[in-house]
Amino acid sequence: MAVGVVIVAAGSGSRLGANVPKAFVTVAGRPLLWYAVRAALRSRPAAVVVAAPATHLDDANEAIDALRGEHGIPVQVVPGGAERGDSVLAATRWLPAECEVVLVHDAARAFTPSEVFERVAAAVTAQTPAVVPVLPVVDTIKVVDADGFVVRTADRDTLRIVQTPQGFRRDVLLEAHRLHGSLATDDAGLVERLGLRVGTVPGDPMALKVTTPEDLDYADRLVASADWAGSSAAALKPS
């Protein structure tokens, strides 16, 4: 099945507080969007569509210009919407009809290795209609009441941290957004509301989401140190 990647990059990045939308903030001289598109292309999908802020379409095209034609894969930039879900739908509409599998990825998770895209795509292709990359929870998690008192300790073994790209059969993604679009914070959450089972594959610590200035500092150090985590960090460096 042909795989299409949607990269949502239309947010403003209010928590990061930079003077440009988050996707255009640079690490080692390259915008976050460039890293995200490069990783997606390295997983060899049939097409990539980027949802960018409507005010910054030229900047988005410029950011990824050097990657155009890489592996002969088309990359298109389209205007995103007011909410993340609007951006997902806007970009998905532009994917070629042959793309029956859609991977939805946050540009803010710019340093996600291409292997994660490949794992998610393979699991959807192998008949799981929705798949999310996850990490185990290492901290102890407590449920508290409104006054901050501990109600109970969660069973860590049943908890996972969820990342992107999240993968879907295209019809399932569209149906989930049509019925429940405004309700969940992630796309898989909408599929859960359809009553479908959502599968998991291993995520990667490098798929961290850049949200705050501290995250950006961390990403800077990550890309600067080619030794960190061996070859996967080396693969991050702009060339």
Binding residues for ligand CTP, how many (CB under 6 A)?
A: 22
Binding pattern for the stretch 44-83 against ligand CTP, x by CB under 6 A and - elsewhere: -------x----------------------------xxxx
Q: Which is nearer to Mg ion, 74 or 79 (CB)?
A: 79
Among Mg ion, ligand CTP, none, the one that 10 touches (CB under a kind-dependent 5 to 8 A) is: ligand CTP
Among ligand CTP, Mg ion, none, the one that 5 touches (CB under a kind-dependent 5 to 8 A) is: none
Count of CB atoms situated within 10 Å of the CB of 155 = 9
Q: Which is nearer to ligand CTP, 17 or 205 (CB)?
A: 17
Contact call for residues 93 and 52 (beta carbons, < 8 A): no
Instruction: Give the integer Cα–Cα distance in Å for 87 and 78.
Output: 9
Place of tokens 């569209």: 174
Among ligand CTP, Mg ion, none, the one that 22 touches (CB under a kind-dependent 5 to 8 A) is: ligand CTP
Residues within window 201-220 making contact with ligand CTP, judged by CB under 6 A: 209, 211
**Cis-peptide, bond into residue 165, ω within 30° of zero:** yes
Question: CB neighbours of 205 closer than 8 A, spacing ≥ 6?
Answer: 135, 229
Q: Which is nearer to ligand CTP, 44 or 209 (CB)?
A: 209
Q: Give the HSE-up count for residue 56: Cα atoms under 13 Å, Cβ half-sphere.
A: 22
Q: Which is nearer to ligand CTP, 107 or 124 (CB)?
A: 107
Instruction: Give the integer Cα–Cα distance in Å for 176 and 207.
Output: 24
Of these, 38, 67, 106, 128, which contacts ligand CTP (CB under 6 A)? Answer: 106
Beta-strand pair 130-136/47-52: unpaired
State the minimum distance, in angstroms, from the CB of residue 212 to Mg ion: 12
List, in sequence order, every beta strand (DSSP E) within the chain. Answer: 2-8, 26-27, 30-31, 47-52, 75-79, 99-106, 130-136, 142-144, 150-153, 160-162, 166-169, 199-202
Residues within window 4-23 making contact with Mg ion, judged by CB under 5 A: 11
State the minimum distance, in angstroms, from the CB of residue 59 to ligand CTP: 13
**Is residue 87 involved in binding ligand CTP (CB under 6 A)?**
yes
Length of the chain: 239
Residues within window 1-20 making contact with ligand CTP, judged by CB under 6 A: 8-15
Give the interface with ligand CTP as residue ranges (CB under 6 A).
8-15, 22-23, 51, 80-84, 87, 106-108, 209, 211
Give the interface with Mg ion as residue ranges (CB under 5 A).
11
